[in-house]
């Protein structure tokens, strides 16, 4: 029985370490997003004041119209660049998180399988049908998890592809609109 208890403790420790690693990955991605947002807000604030000063210094309506027209293209380009950077950070963090989660889940599943095997060997006589039922339930749960994980991965990949496509289309639309303006 001590062997089973030791395996359970080791499995619990591995699970805790895996959770800690996943939390660290999430923190890293969040930190990158915060850095992007801070840099973007500083840039936007500086450019907004510079533009406001230029507008206030406009000598006539024609100069004012030129300033306003000149603002659209850089603003649209910067918005598209921000969206692309945001998407890259989220995609990178998602990929790192998924890899770490998959590796950790595999380790936890191995540890749990060893624990179940040990418990099965130490099960009292006559409990074979209960042990078989339990093993089938564990296998079904692991298969359901694998299916859900695969579906989630496909959904994330599809969303990322759609986001990249929309960002590219928006960038092209801005380029065309500013060329004709």
115: number of Cβ within 10 Å? 19
C-alpha span between 47 and 43 (Å, rounded): 6
- Please state the rounded mean pLDDT for residues 115-125: 73
> What is the distance of C-alpha 148 from the center of its chain?
17
Angle in degrees, CA 98, 117, 14, rounded to 5: 35
Q: Which residue is listed with tokens 């969040």?
A: 30
Instruction: Output the pLDDT for position 1.
Output: 46
How high does pLDDT run on average in the chain? 80
Task: Mention every residue, 6+ apart, whose C-beta is less than 8 A from residue 72.
Answer: 177, 178, 181
Instruction: Output the pLDDT for position 143.
Output: 80
Show the tokens assigned to 63. 């100069």
Per-residue pLDDT reduced to its tens digit, 60-81: 989 988 888 888 778 878 888 8
pTM of the predicted model as reported, rounded to 2 decimal places: 0.60
CB 63 within 8 A of CB 136: no
Q: What are the domain boundaries of the chain? A: 2-180
Q: Which residue is listed with tokens 């206030």?
A: 56
Q: Is residue 82 packed enough to be buried (19+ CB in 10 Å), middle (13-18) or exposed (0-12)?
A: middle
Instruction: Output the pLDDT for position 96.
Output: 81
Angle in degrees, CA 39, 92, 155, rounded to 5: 120
């Amino acid at each position: 029985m001590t062997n089973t208890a030791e395996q359970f403790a080791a499995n619990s420790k591995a699970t805790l370490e895996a959770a800690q690693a996943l939390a660290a990955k999430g923190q890293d991605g969040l930190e990158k997003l915060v850095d992007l947002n801070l840099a973007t807000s500083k840039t936007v604030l500086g450019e907004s004041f510079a533009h406001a000063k230029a507008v206030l210094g406009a000598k006539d309506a024609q100069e004012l119209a030129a300033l306003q027209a000149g603002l659209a293209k850089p603003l649209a380009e910067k918005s598209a660049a921000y969206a692309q950077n945001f998407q890259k950070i989220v995609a990178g963090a998602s990929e790192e998180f998924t890899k770490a989660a998959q590796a950790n889940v595999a380790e936890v599943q191995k540890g749990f399988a060893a624990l179940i095997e040990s418990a099965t060997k130490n099960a009292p006589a006559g409990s074979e049908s209960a042990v078989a039922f339990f093993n089938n339930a564990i296998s079904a749960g692991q298969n359901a998890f694998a299916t859900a994980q695969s579906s989630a991965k496909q959904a994330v990949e599809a969303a990322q592809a759609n986001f990249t496509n929309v960002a590219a289309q928006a960038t092209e639309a801005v380029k065309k609109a500013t060329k004709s303006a």
